[in-house]
Amino acid sequence: MNSNHLKIGIAGLGTVGVGTFKLLQANSDILNQRCGRRLEVTSVSALRREKNRGIDLDGVTWFKDGVDLATKADVDIVVEVIGGADGSARKTVESALRLGRHVVTANKALLANSGVELAVMAEESGVSLSYEAAVAGGVPIIKALRESLAGNSIKRITGILNGTCNYILSTMRTTGQDFEDVLERAQALGYAEADPSFDVGGVDTAHKLAILASVAFGTAIDINAVHVEGISNISTLDIKYADEFGYRIKLLGLAERLSGESGEGIVQRVYPCLIRPEHPLATVENVFNAVVAEGDFVGKSIYEGRGAGAGPTASAIVSDIVDIALGRHAPVFGVPVRNLEVPGEVPVDQHFGEYYVRLLVVDRPGVFADIASAFRDESVSMESVLQRGRNENANVNVVIITHETHESNVVRALNRLQANESLVEPPHMMRIEKTECS
């Protein structure tokens, strides 16, 4: 690597790749001053060279394939922004690491599925595998966990990690529109993909949470250990009733090291849940992301910002490039790969907390007694109950907030009610997260 000149190859010229190119050009003077050397994009790769991307590629070497860029280009750093858990993205990163080239990536799916194997390759080659942009866009949470909070034992991570879902839930609450209508609006604004299943199904959040858990707890990434639920079943009724009880609904990623009655191991869960307005994440709205990290000495620290888009993601990518230019190096997941623990999985039915339950039932005498009996028989105590007037089909919604109990108890009670002919549709259940995130 030339001490006065850092050569960069960008594999993928979509929104993020172009954004990174523009940032490196626009802020070249300040970056050169901060790094003490010149940062220059010397190679790029994308399928269609003729496409107008609004950038000047004169003097830049073009490759059609990312693997060719990684193996043939004269570069010190390969920036992978192709995307996808496998295929060209993985081959590009692997090729670069084998040849001893630093890699910067925004690819959370690749890291969540193959991060440990890639970290081994980076260590063997003595190069950096950096990925600040893979989690929460412009929010510097990876560096915070791996560096700023390195002196702490992290107790818990709680985050809003998907801007699409946060926008949908925020807009449903403020406008009263249904999920499908708001999703269509999000797609029109460019906040949601044509196929939004990874976002609204919670998979995107799960990828990011798996990475955060690894860095926070020094464990090997295990995407299969993440319990995942999405938001497509959340209705305007749920938003309304949650508000009446004094809560807001957010899709959260939660990771915590447990020991004791609630289990032994690392909890990794993604699901919509109810939080109080005073919760640190309750006021994070629209497309913003935020993470609350809890350390034993630092206490709570909160990180918030734009979680996606060309600018914020490019900002995170370039921050990694600057680290490499300055010779700052840290193990990929905070500790050497050989020291990564294998996380013990804690089943979600061991969760202990309060619950929101909504039941649509036939409005007739004895139905509430059946509900109360099912809850009583499974040791679930009801804290609050709300019942609204019947609809045109003589059905009513019964909404219950439970006292703290094990999730397995609530599930058994709801399974009992499923057999009751008075139930019009399957029960709706969500967890309630405490204000203190503990």
Residues labelled catalytic: 208
Contact yes or no for 198/164 (Cβ under 8 A): no
Contact yes or no for 77/70 (Cβ under 8 A): no
C-alpha–C-alpha distance, residues 214 and 346, integer Å? 15
Token readout for 261 is 């009655």
Write the CB contacts of 330 (distance below 8 Å, at least 6 apart in sequence): 146, 147
The runs of H, that is alpha helices, within 225-333 are: 236-244, 310-325
CA distances from 40 to 8, 20, 43, 97, 178 (A): 6, 11, 9, 20, 47
Write the CB contacts of 371 (distance below 8 Å, at least 6 apart in sequence): 359, 361, 398, 400, 417
Taking the alpha carbons at both ends of the chain, their separation in whole angstroms is 46
Token readout for 268 is 């990794």
